[in-house]
Chain A
Amino acid sequence: AQKVTQAQTEISVVEKEDVTLDCVYETRDTTYYLFWYKQPPSGELVFLIRRNSFDEQNEISGRYSWNFQKSTSSFNFTITASQVVDSAVYFCALSEANYGQNFVFGPGTRLSVLP
């Protein structure tokens, strides 16, 4: 069965520090997609990035970067030079090509960036 684990329940950093949010997944499928979503205090769920199982290239978007490693079934998310506006709950999610249409979310990591 598909499963997503985010071992860090809460992280606190001081502004300008770098922070990495961990995501480990389990899947029986060979074709799958991984996602990160941000849930700010206002409550909406905001899509950040998608990565497919065939593309292990790391991605950078501004202060955000993602490290996908199939060998360790991990898809970690790093925020460089964190800002107070990065404070949110971050969810990692997985969808599989061949085992249903639902997306499974990890439990989330609450990031607090202190000024």
Chain B
Amino acid sequence: EPEVTQTPSHQVTQMGQEVILRCVPISNHLYFYWYRQILGQKVEFLVSFYNNEISEKSEIFDDQFSVERPDGSNFTLKIRSTKLEDSAMYFCASIESSYNSPLHFGNGTRLTVT
């Protein structure tokens, strides 16, 4: 069964550094998402992406964050200057068509900012 893949599984970085989290969504899916889960807390929406542009973003997704689909297969989340509070599990997800499709999640990237 096709799956969403995320790399790396764990990323440690120093405060102020830039990080790029990578995702390969399922190939025939059209909508892509990033969610964040601070340890032990709820799954929070960051951004959705469709047709090569952001379709929706949350208040969390400020100017420090950006997303890109550089080559038709990868979907990346960049955090420009990491803060301690960015430490979390970041999940990429994709769906086939629209709001009625279930989100297919990758296994997540655990980001630790020191």
Interface residues of A (CB under 8 A from B): 32-33, 35, 37, 43-47, 50, 52, 91, 93, 95-97, 100-108
Contact = CB atoms under 8 A, between A and B. Distances in A.
A100 B103 contact: no
B86 to A, nearest CB: 18
B42 A100 contact: no
B42 A102 contact: no
B99 A96 contact: yes
Q: Is the interface of B mostly helix, strand, loop or mixed?
A: strand
A55 to B, nearest CB: 11
Nearest to B41: A107
Contact of B45 (A47, A91, A104): A104
Contacts of A32: 99
B102 A101 contact: no
Interface residues of B, number: 26
Contact of B43 (A50, A101, A105): A105
Interface in B76-112: 89, 91, 93, 98-100, 102-105, 107-108, 110
B100 A33 contact: yes
16 contacts: A44-B105, A45-B108, A47-B102, A47-B104, A91-B42, A93-B43, A96-B99, A97-B98, A101-B50, A101-B98, A101-B99, A102-B33, A102-B58, A105-B42, A105-B45, A106-B42
Contacts, number: 68
Contacts of B42: 91, 105-108
Interface string B17-33: 00000000000000101
A43 B31 contact: no
Contacts of A44: 105, 107-108
Contacts of A108: 42-43
A43 B48 CA distance: 22
B55 interface: yes
B17 to A, nearest CB: 24
Contact of B100 (A37, A43, A50, A104): A50
